Amino acid sequence: MIKLIPASDHHAAKVGDWLQSNYLFSFADYYDPANVQFGPLRVFNHDRIKGRNGFPSHPHAEMEVVTVVLDGELTHTDNIGNDVTLNAGDVQRMTSGTGFTHSETNNSDKDTVILQLWFLPNKRGLAPSYEHMNLDFLDARNKLVPLVTGQKVLENVPFVNSNSTVYYGHVGQGEEIDFKTFKLRKTLVYVLTGGLLVNNVEAELNDQVRLEDQDIVSLHGNTEATFILVDVPATEVNY
């Protein structure tokens, strides 16, 4: 199964004059029973936060929260002692587990652009924890860069309590990358810039392609393009 979901079908949300967001799955005031999750991937939001604004302190529980900073900066403060400023190229993982409270604020004068992905954990009742790294992924050329993973074959990236991996990808015009997968897994590709052929399905800016029952995900650059690839299990125990 290969399903193209064009950008126009995403739910566009605006909070006051400070936040613009696209929701790829049901979230907040948007609910579609046919679009709740993709394996353990429960949330995928593409956010633009205006300067001197942000999300006030709020709680999470039993969720793996991943934040990818594409542009600008974001200050994270939580109730387990972390107070850090993330910059473009940084990736953050929060295990909310039994309960976690945090705020995310753009303290600069320019807009900040982030992706936020939430995964249902493969273990419940975990102690809250936090991790972030600068992976300098924005300089990638014709390759996939792992940003966060629960698959222990990958090292030196933040660990998420889900049998899933998130990649940032770049492909040049006319170039191609093949991602090897298994028919028991699912793949989501979200186009950040440019345009791709994903297993011969044309995907343009902010489109997404969801794939199941595949052995290879072929990513061909119609133009120079960047994208996010999320590799998840079709099912995952304990979530």
Of the chain, the end-to-end C-alpha distance in Å amounts to 24
102 is in an annotated binding site: yes
76 is in an annotated binding site: no
- Which among 6, 4, 3, 1 has a CA at the least distance from the CA of 206? 6
Instruction: Report how far Cα 9 is from the mean position of its chain's Cα atoms.
Output: 18
Please count the other Cβ atoms lying within 10 Å of the Cβ belonging to residue 126: 15
10 is in an annotated binding site: no
Q: From CA 59, how far away is CA 205, in angstroms rounded? A: 32
- DSSP helix/strand/coil, 213: coil
CB proximity list for 31: less than 8 A, separation 6 or greater: none
Compute the residue count for the chain: 239
Q: Which two structure tokens, joined as six digits, stand for 6?
A: 């064009």
Q: Annotated binding site: which residue ranges?
A: 58, 60, 102, 104
Binding-site annotation, residues for Fe cation: 58, 60, 102, 104
